[in-house]
Structure 1
């Protein structure tokens, strides 16, 4: 996980540096700062930093993986990778609810978009707690 953390941290640093350069450049070469691009640069850096921080946090709690070694071979990563739910319908429901939210938001139907938020939260809760309730409970 340290490799992934480094990648996202470098991407975040790139976006922050380019955001500062972009903001200064648009300030001096236009009549003022071009806020849409500057905001996009800094938000992109923030999102990359968020992902990098998550990977750095997780890297402390998992054992060292073959990807963390410079001299690792492909065979070092063989074996079981994890548990993946074979029959979950929750991701489809989350995607459908998110699409409904996007339609409501894009068409300025705020009552519709706000009304779909509890459905999204319920679907995410269903996904998170799928194996903690019902017949699949261990």
Structure 2
């Protein structure tokens, strides 16, 4: 995870340099720079710093992965990479019911929001319990 920590550290350094520059460049009014963009850049800087610290902290505790070692061979990374789920229709139904809920709120039709919420609960349960029944059951 050292490589990932260095990537996020580079992003953090970049944002630390860009944020005050953005504040100074957008200083077009008498009240200072653009508060919206500057606050977004500050929050982005803090988030990348948080990820950098997390990855750096855990990289010290973990054994080196093949990606982190300079003497590693390609065959060191061979083997099972993890579980990758097969195709699923449940994300489509969940997204459609969320769209129905949003359309109901936007149009002021609360009955449509309720229908979308009920169908969304069914779709979400189907998505969560997808691997407990059927062809892909564990």
TM-score range, shorter chain: 0.5 to 0.7
CA change 1:19–1:96 in 2 (3 A) is: farther
Number of paired residues? 128
Query: How many Å separate the matches in 1 of 2:36 and 2:117?
Result: 27
Secondary structure (helix, strand or coil) at the match of 1:109 reads: helix
What's the counterpart of residue 73 of structure 1? Answer: 73
Q: 1:74 to 1:16 in 2, by over 3 A?
A: same
8 Å Cα contact 2:94-2:124 kept in structure 1? yes
TM-score normalised to structure 1 length: 0.59
Larger radius of gyration: 2
Cα 1:16–1:76 change in 2 (3 A) is same
1:10 aligns to 2:13 (yes or no): no
Q: Please tell me the root mean square deviation across aligned C-alpha atoms, in Å.
A: 4.1
**Mapping of 1:24-39 within 5 angstroms?**
24-27=24-27, 30-31=29-30, 32-39=32-39
Cα deviation per residue 1:84-128 (whole Å; 9 max; x = unaligned)? 111333443455456x28x949xx82977x8778948x739944x
Per the normalisation by structure 2, the TM-score is: 0.59
Which residue is 2:106 aligned to? 109
